[in-house]
């Protein structure tokens, strides 16, 4: 299972349900997923939203955009506890979820992630660039390039001052970001 599997799932949903004028939002790794899906069926997408997201240009991968320490940690984690190909789920505190009830809820739902999804290159024709984009940055100052990436598609990204999993920590702020994205259509 790689990046293309996730992209095909989204494209299949959009086409299968004949969805149009979609606001397609990706969080974290899913930034790569939503941009490639939007590139494949741009006529169905009104806005691409990127929430503390990784993304790139044709041929880029998450691993290629990430700092070396991040890749080393993913490789080490996959080797130690993921049979070499699965990245074990992070602990809730690593993504900023520290409230006990929220952390317990999140921990019960997290699962390993295939390492290949981080190393597969995104395949873009350039059609996605014609679609309006909005971005939000949450986990600033942790050594990941979310802020630098965000300003490449949205000169004034929304800032949600919390950990990476904003949808759990600050759900109203994420709802406001989605409402903002809908308003662009």
Count of CB atoms within 10 A of residue 158's CB? Answer: 20
Q: How many residues does the structure list for the chain?
A: 185
Q: Tell me how far apart the alpha carbons of residues 146 and 150 are, in angstroms, rounded to a whole number.
A: 6
Report pLDDT for 185: 65
Give pLDDT tens digits for 45-91. Answer: 999 999 999 999 999 999 999 999 999 999 999 999 989 999 999 99
DSSP β-bridge partners for residue 137: 159
Distance between CA 12 and CA 43 in Å, rounded?
A: 14
pLDDT at 97: 95
Alpha-carbon dihedral angle through residues 72, 77, 78, 81, given to the nearest 10 degrees: 160
**pTM of the predicted protein model:** 0.94
* pLDDT tens for the 185 residues of the chain, in order: 899 999 999 999 999 999 999 999 999 999 999 999 999 999 999 999 999 999 999 999 999 999 999 999 999 999 999 899 999 999 999 999 999 999 999 999 999 999 999 999 999 999 999 999 999 999 776 789 999 999 999 999 999 999 999 999 999 999 999 999 999 86
Q: Which domains does the chain have, with CATH numbers?
A: 3-184 (3.40.50.1820)
Dihedral of the CA atoms 56, 133, 109, 78 (nearest 10)? 10
Closest CA to 6 of 168, 123, 94, 107: 123
Rounded Cα distance between 177 and 25, Å, is 10
User: What's residue 141's pLDDT?
Assistant: 67
């Amino acid at each position: 299972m790689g990046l293309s599997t996730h992209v095909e799932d989204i494209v299949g949903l959009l086409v299968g349900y004949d969805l149009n004028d979609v606001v397609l939002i990706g969080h974290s790794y899913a930034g790569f997923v939503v941009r490639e899906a939007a590139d494949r069926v741009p006529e169905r997408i009104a806005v691409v939203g990127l929430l503390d997201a990784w993304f790139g240009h044709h041929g880029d991968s998450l691993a290629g955009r990430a700092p070396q320490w991040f890749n080393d940690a993913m490789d080490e984690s996959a080797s130690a506890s993921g049979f070499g190909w699965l990245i074990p789920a992070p602990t809730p505190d690593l993504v900023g979820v520290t409230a006990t009830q929220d952390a317990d809820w999140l921990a019960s739902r997290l699962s390993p992630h295939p390492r290949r999804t981080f190393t597969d290159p995104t395949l873009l024709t350039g059609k996605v660039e014609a679609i309006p984009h909005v971005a939000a940055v949450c986990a600033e100052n942790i050594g990941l390039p979310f802020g630098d990436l965000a300003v490449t598609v949205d000169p004034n990204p929304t800032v949600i001052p919390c950990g990476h999993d904003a949808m759990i920590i600050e759900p109203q702020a994420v709802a406001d970001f989605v409402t903002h994205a809908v308003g662009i259509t």
